[in-house]
């Protein structure tokens, strides 16, 4: 880890050490109270049974965890979570990659187009989900309205357990597209012009240029985007809460949504079970970010 540019040459007065801690205090206090302590308490809660109001009653060790692993419902939840990650990350990253590569095709109006693709970024999770819930409405929604023009449907986008997860994933891909395009555009912008120009002079263009030059040099950005998208997908909550409430019949119940249902929904206060699930979530997310930190070194070398 590099140190500050001009490290204090001579030993400073004690006052400066005090000042440093005083400057750090507000942040440290917030982190300790709302991240450090809660981490411990989540572990504590996950190892305790609780009464109807969620107050921890007695120590049960790993019982919540073993119960979870034994429950078919929880295995479904994990599977749904993994599926949701796949269905959002893969199309989200590849779609954005296709868009930015097409935008590299020396065409007019690139700036305008890029702004257009970034527009979904203006939507919050809630506003995008509310909009898609209007689209997906089986009776009055525009999707079934258009399908009926071709004598198709009506499709139960959110009520049919075959389509619900796909529909939620599709809305998620749409709302993330703006961010993904912005990240990859910035990545392309940081590729030195000389490299692309040299390749063009050598006669490379179109797909060849993309495959041999742009995509490999975009590697670090793609990697970053994949990790961020995965972690975001794992933490998705708003779209599921607004579109399906985890239904139909648990078809869209992901890990985070399960935490919410056990802890907060319908007057439920099963903090023990919910905390055990929160710990599972923590482990999964740490594994994903660990991958990123582990490869940071490599990235720096060829970036």
Cβ burial of 251 (10 Å; 0-12, 13-18, 19+) is buried
Helix/strand number for the chain, H first, E second: 15, 2
In angstroms, what is the minimal distance from the CB of 30 to other proteins?
A: 4
Among positive and negative, which fits the CA dihedral 214, 220, 225, 226? positive
The position carrying tokens 């249902």 is 261
Near other proteins by CB under 8 A: residue from 230, 241, 252, 261: 241
Which span sits near other proteins by CB under 8 A: 59-67, 70-78, 134-142, 152-160?
134-142
Near other proteins by CB under 8 A: residue from 49, 83, 110, 291: 110
The token duo for 271 is 């903090």
Which span sits near other proteins by CB under 8 A: 5-13, 74-82, 86-94, 153-161?
5-13
Interface with other proteins, residue 17, by CB under 8 A = yes
Nearer to other proteins, 53 or 72 (CB): 53
User: Is the peptide bond between 248 and the residue preceding it cis, with omega within 30 degrees of 0?
Assistant: yes
Which residues, including other chains, have CB under 8 Å from residue 203's CB and lie 6 or more apart? none
User: Could you give the string, one character per residue 22-41, with x where binding to other proteins holds by CB under 8 A and - elsewhere?
Assistant: -xx-xxxxxx-xxxxxxx-x
The terminus-to-terminus CA distance of the chain in angstroms comes to 18
In angstroms, what is the minimal distance from the CB of 216 to other proteins?
A: 14
Interface with other proteins, residue 160, by CB under 8 A = no
Interface with other proteins, residue 138, by CB under 8 A = no
Interface with other proteins, residue 289, by CB under 8 A = yes
User: Measured between alpha carbons, how far is 263 from 177 in angstroms, rounded to an integer?
Assistant: 31
Which residues, including other chains, have CB under 8 Å from residue 121's CB and lie 6 or more apart? 178, 179, 182
Contacting other proteins within 55-94 (CB under 8 A)? none
Near other proteins by CB under 8 A: residue from 49, 264, 268, 291: 264
User: Measured between alpha carbons, how far is 65 from 46 in angstroms, rounded to an integer?
Assistant: 8
Near other proteins by CB under 8 A: residue from 87, 183, 233, 251: 183
Size of the site for other proteins (CB under 8 A): 123
In angstroms, what is the minimal distance from the CB of 126 to other proteins?
A: 4
Contacting other proteins within 197-236 (CB under 8 A)? 197, 200-201, 205-206, 220-221, 224-225, 231, 234-235
DSSP state of 5: S
User: Measured between alpha carbons, how far is 298 from 300 in angstroms, rounded to an integer?
Assistant: 6
Interface with other proteins, residue 195, by CB under 8 A = no
CA atoms within 13 A on the CB side of 169: 25
Which residues, including other chains, have CB under 8 Å from residue 274's CB and lie 6 or more apart? 258, 259, 260, 262, 263
Near other proteins by CB under 8 A: residue from 42, 80, 167, 244: 42
Interface with other proteins, residue 188, by CB under 8 A = yes
Interface with other proteins, residue 114, by CB under 8 A = yes
């Amino acid at each position: 880890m590099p140190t500050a540019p001009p490290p204090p040459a001579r030993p400073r007065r004690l006052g400066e050490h005090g000042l440093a801690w005083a400057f750090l205090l507000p942040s440290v206090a917030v982190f300790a109270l709302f991240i450090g302590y809660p981490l411990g308490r989540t572990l504590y809660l996950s190892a305790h049974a609780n009464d109807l109001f969620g107050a921890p009653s007695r120590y049960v060790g790993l019982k919540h965890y073993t119960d979870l692993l034994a429950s078919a419902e929880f295995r479904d939840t994990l599977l749904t979570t993994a599926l949701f990650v796949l269905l959002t990350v893969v199309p989200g990253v590849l779609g954005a990659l296709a868009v930015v590569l097409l935008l590299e095709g020396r065409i007019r109006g690139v700036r305008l187009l890029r702004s257009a693709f970034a527009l979904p970024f203006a939507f919050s999770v809630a506003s995008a989900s509310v909009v898609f819930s209007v689209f997906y409405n089986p009776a009055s929604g525009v999707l079934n309205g258009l399908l009926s023009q071709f004598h198709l449907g009506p499709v139960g986008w959110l009520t049919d357990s075959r389509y619900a997860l796909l529909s939620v994933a599709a809305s998620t891909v749409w709302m993330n597209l703006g961010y993904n395009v912005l990240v990859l555009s910035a990545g392309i912008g940081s590729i030195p012009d000389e490299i692309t120009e040299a390749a063009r002079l050598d006669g490379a263009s179109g797909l060849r240029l993309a495959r041999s030059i742009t995509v490999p040099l975009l590697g670090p950005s793609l990697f970053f985007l994949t990790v961020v998208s995965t972690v975001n997908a794992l933490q998705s909550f708003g779209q599921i809460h607004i579109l399906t409430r985890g239904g139909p019949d648990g078809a869209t119940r992901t890990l985070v949504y399960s935490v919410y249902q056990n802890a907060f929904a319908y007057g439920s206060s099963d903090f023990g079970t919910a905390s055990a699930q929160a710990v599972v979530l923590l482990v999964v997310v740490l594994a994903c970010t660990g991958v990123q930190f582990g490869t940071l070194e490599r990235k720096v070398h060829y970036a």
